[in-house]
Amino acid sequence: MKPIGQSVKLGLIVCQHCGRWIDEVETEKVTVLYGCCREDSCRNGKRQGDIEHD
């Protein structure tokens, strides 16, 4: 069976400071990557209530 041409994006990039969704990426399995969004309060250092992750 041929693929229909649509890909499923299983990867998610999340801001490590505020938890805001940044982007989706194509991956082979469900994956969460952490980065930093463009909010000044996130880029200039840690915010109160930062997300704790492994």
Task: Evaluate whether residue 48 is within a structural domain.
Answer: no
Is the confidence at residue 8, as pLDDT, over 90? Answer: no
The one-character DSSP state at 10 is -
Question: 37-40 — which CB contacts under 8 Å span 24+ positions?
Answer: 39/15
Q: What is the pLDDT of residues 40-53, one digit of tens each?
A: 989 886 555 555 65
Partners of 37 in the beta sheet?
Answer: none
- Reference 35, options 9, 15, 51, 6; nearest CA is 15
Is the confidence at residue 26, as pLDDT, over 80? Answer: yes
Domain hosting residue 39, numbered range: 11-43
Task: Evaluate whether residue 1 is within a structural domain.
Answer: no
Task: Evaluate whether residue 19 is within a structural domain.
Answer: yes
Say how many domains are in the chain: 1
Greater pLDDT, 34 or 50: 34
pLDDT of residue 43: 85
Stretch 10-24: mean pLDDT = 95
Task: Evaluate whether residue 2 is within a structural domain.
Answer: no
Six-digit token string for 13? 């990039």
